[in-house]
Structure 1
Amino acid sequence: MSRYWSSLVHRLTPYVPGEQPKLPNLVKLNTNENPYPPSPRVVAAIADELANGGQALRLYPDPNADRLKEAIAARFAGFGITPQQVFVGNGSDEVLAHVFIALLRHELPILFPDITYSFYPVYCGLYDVAWTAVPLDENFALQVDDYAGANGGIIFANPNAPTGCLLPLASIERLLAVHSQSVVVVDEAYIDFGGDFGTDSAIALVNRHPNLLVVHTLSKSRSLAGLRVGYAVGHPDLIEALERVKNSFNSYPLDRLAIAGAVAALADERHFETTRQAVIHSRETLCLALRSLAFEVLPSAANFIFVRHPQRDAGDLAAALRQRGIIVRHFRLPRIDQHLRITIGTDAQCELLIVALREILN
């Protein structure tokens, strides 16, 4: 601590990101990164931006990222989405940060699950947003009826993090109808791994519910965690609020390389579908293998799974895996301290995990 800190800094409890260790031959299954590289079109698009000795880099990027907004709207044209309904930022974390101050800072507390993305309470502390954690049920499922009270907004991840559980679209629509006077934010960082996108994504509901904002990232399913590109889709009035905050904070949020790479990634639907299906297939294979080792595995619609072993301490398992060069995520939090969150890697990485667990359990 320092006497030069503001009182706000003294009160903050910062978010702790997943570990990024620099160890040789590491099997890294702790931060939900995609195990496959991005589309080759991304690399080519970035190379084009760097042509002529990188001359373009001396110029500011488009502050509105219009090319990217148009590409996002085109992807969701079947839902009637227009560029005026799209907001972009440096990863979904920055988009969410603007959401908290632009749309969720009201007199009443906002609501989110007690087990969810741990950045939500951090944003509340940073922006002085009152909040109430609503317990998930005994199966880690969100129950819409538990959100009946008056509130200043609702936010939840779907599929949820770190559980991977998916709330059906019909339940989301019921929540939107009950809370038509509140903003409902659905954080869909992992939705592309849930199956049928047209059936599962709440973007399908945006034009029926002006209080709905859906947040996405290109970090997971598009393999662009290193570029930091996120976006939100909602009613133009919600987007305007986000733009007002953004332009009071950083009017050039996305750089030229990020815009070019993101547009190229969205254009390559074939690569997206191939890698998405590969992750889904590996997830189901890994679930079967873990169940054969007596692990309890929650049904997952994400690129990770949430597991526990009834006879082994989760912290001990994580430590034993680490000794073998495999890292997974262990949360020392109430209700989930005996669970591990395991990112879906390549088939080879998943096999190394299973071999290591067999050795540890025996």
Structure 2
Amino acid sequence: MSRFWSPVVHSLTPYVPGEQPKLDKLVKLNTNENPYPPSPRVLAAIQHELGADGDRLKLYSDPTGHALKAAVATRFGVPENWVFVGNSSDEVLAHTFQALLKHDAPLLFPDITYSFYPVYCGLYGIEFKTIPLDENFAIRVDDYLAPGAAQVGAVIFPNPNAPTGRLLPLAEIARLAAALPDSPIVVDEAYVDFGGVDSIPSAVALVREHPNVLVTQTLSKSRSLAGLRVGFAIGQPELIEALTRVKDSFNSYPLDRLALVGACAAIEDEAYFDQTRKQVIASREQLSQDLAGLGFEVLPSAANFVFARHPGRDAAQLAAALRERSIIVRHFKAARIDQFLRITVGTDAQCAQLVGALREILAT
């Protein structure tokens, strides 16, 4: 506390990011980073942008992010003015909360979800109401419709949800959007690229028919660019204009020159993207089977992580025992999920090391 703080600072409960520990021979399975490097085209594009002497770095980047918007628009088959880009999907979400989610009626989101949502609400003074997941930790659309349209200011949820990994079908998202036509519906798709082998269940498919739907994505997970900090949103122009007005009242140059060219290269290398995401999906399925074989209950996951609990062992103690073996997973001390571990899908070798360590721990 300080007398120099603005009043709002006193009431904030900041988001707590995943730990970035410095341990020898670390197996890092706690923050959902991709275990594979980005496309080689990303490195080539960044090197080209730097040039021989880095002279371009003295110049500002494109404030509109035109080339990146064009790459995203081409990838998803939408007009360029339906795309917004920002410094990570967290920044895109922050602008979304301020631009679209503050209304007289409360914002609705799941009781178990991305823990940044209530933080944004505190920062921007947004009234919110959490809607419980069902007994299987799934989102029920009818629960969001129960208050009546006049009592719903907006809705946001991750799909797949985090930290559960469960996927809400597109038909259910469409039903929600149709039933609440005057409420923004924001679908946070940080993990959607891991949702299926043959097709990706993105709600971008709904934005033409539903002008109230905004979809956000990140390049941190499936494009292996967590360190570059690039995110985007897709929606109809009136939603995108709201985000742009907030962005240009905050920071007109959110993406640097290297991030812009690297992100374009990652999006354009479809073959590499598809190869690595399918590797992660295959590893996830094997990891889920292996954990089940050790007696864990594993929720169905459409993400690059699994959410699991063991009926005979305390989750915090399991996480601590893994840490002693230099394996880091995420444990949330929160109601309903304090006996679960969220485990990032690593390489096959990392997953095997995790399973071997758990087998050893459970045998004691």
TM-score interval for Structure 1 and Structure 2 normalised by the shorter chain: over 0.9
Looking at structure 2, the residues matched to 112 and 176 of structure 1 have their Cα atoms a distance apart, in angstroms, of 14
The amino acid that maps onto 1:315 is A
C-alpha displacement of 1:66: 0.2
2:343 maps to: 342
1:287 counterpart = 2:288: yes
Q: Give the secondary structure class of the aligned counterpart of 1:53.
A: coil
The amino acid that maps onto 2:186 is V
Looking at structure 2, the residues matched to 63 and 24 of structure 1 have their Cα atoms a distance apart, in angstroms, of 41
Structure 2: which 5+ residue stretches go unaligned?
Answer: none
C-alpha displacement of 1:201: 0.7
The amino acid that maps onto 1:4 is F
C-alpha displacement of 1:199: 5.5
The amino acid that maps onto 1:109 is P
Q: Percent identity, please.
A: 68
Looking at structure 2, the residues matched to 93 and 47 of structure 1 have their Cα atoms a distance apart, in angstroms, of 26
CA deviations on 1:186-231 (whole Å, 9 max, x unpaired) are 0000000000575611000000000000000000000000000000
1:224 maps to: 225
C-alpha displacement of 1:5: 1.0
C-alpha displacement of 1:52: 3.0
1:101 maps to: 98
8 Å Cα contact 2:183/2:212 also seen in 1:
yes
Q: Give the secondary structure class of the aligned counterpart of 1:200.
A: coil
1:300 counterpart = 2:297: no
1:125 counterpart = 2:126: no
2:154 maps to: 153
C-alpha displacement of 1:55: 0.6
C-alpha displacement of 1:350: 0.2
8 Å Cα contact 2:197/2:281 also seen in 1:
no
CA deviations on 1:245-283 (whole Å, 9 max, x unpaired) are 000000001000000000000111111011000000000
Relative to structure 1, is the Cα distance of residues 196 and 280 closer, same or farther in structure 2, using a 3 angstrom cutoff? closer
Relative to structure 1, is the Cα distance of residues 353 and 198 closer, same or farther in structure 2, using a 3 angstrom cutoff? closer
8 Å Cα contact 1:198/1:204 also seen in 2:
no
2:179 maps to: 178
C-alpha displacement of 1:7: 1.2
1:87 counterpart = 2:88: no
C-alpha displacement of 1:29: 0.1
CA deviations on 1:139-177 (whole Å, 9 max, x unpaired) are 000000000122110000000000000000000000001
8 Å Cα contact 1:90/1:254 also seen in 2:
yes
The amino acid that maps onto 1:301 is A
Looking at structure 2, the residues matched to 108 and 241 of structure 1 have their Cα atoms a distance apart, in angstroms, of 19
The amino acid that maps onto 1:3 is R
CA deviations on 1:22-67 (whole Å, 9 max, x unpaired) are 1111000000000000000000000011113101000000000000
Structure 1: which 5+ residue stretches go unaligned?
Answer: none
CA deviations on 1:113-154 (whole Å, 9 max, x unpaired) are 000000000000000000000000000000000001221100
The amino acid that maps onto 1:14 is P
8 Å Cα contact 1:191/1:197 also seen in 2:
no
8 Å Cα contact 2:305/2:344 also seen in 1:
yes
Looking at structure 1, the residues matched to 289 and 76 of structure 2 have their Cα atoms a distance apart, in angstroms, of 34
Looking at structure 2, the residues matched to 10 and 340 of structure 1 have their Cα atoms a distance apart, in angstroms, of 32
Q: Give the secondary structure class of the aligned counterpart of 2:204.
A: helix
The amino acid that maps onto 1:53 is D
1:115 counterpart = 2:116: no
The amino acid that maps onto 2:229 is R
Looking at structure 2, the residues matched to 52 and 285 of structure 1 have their Cα atoms a distance apart, in angstroms, of 45
1:207 counterpart = 2:204: no
The amino acid that maps onto 1:31 is T
1:135 maps to: 132
Q: Give the secondary structure class of the aligned counterpart of 1:166.
A: coil
8 Å Cα contact 1:98/1:242 also seen in 2:
yes
Q: Give the secondary structure class of the aligned counterpart of 1:156.
A: strand
- Give the 4+ runs in structure 1 shifted more than 4 A: 196-199
1:57 counterpart = 2:57: yes
1:9 counterpart = 2:9: yes
Task: Give the alignment's Cα RMSD to 1 decimal.
Answer: 0.8
Q: Give the secondary structure class of the aligned counterpart of 2:207.
A: helix
C-alpha displacement of 1:106: 1.1
1:242 maps to: 243
8 Å Cα contact 2:197/2:278 also seen in 1:
no
Number of residue pairs matched by the alignment: 359
The amino acid that maps onto 2:156 is I
Looking at structure 1, the residues matched to 190 and 247 of structure 2 have their Cα atoms a distance apart, in angstroms, of 21
8 Å Cα contact 1:169/1:199 also seen in 2:
no
Q: Give the secondary structure class of the aligned counterpart of 2:85.
A: strand
The amino acid that maps onto 2:196 is G
2:48 maps to: 48
The amino acid that maps onto 1:122 is V
Looking at structure 2, the residues matched to 74 and 16 of structure 1 have their Cα atoms a distance apart, in angstroms, of 35
8 Å Cα contact 1:109/1:132 also seen in 2:
yes
The amino acid that maps onto 1:163 is T
1:39 counterpart = 2:39: yes
Relative to structure 1, is the Cα distance of residues 279 and 199 closer, same or farther in structure 2, using a 3 angstrom cutoff? closer
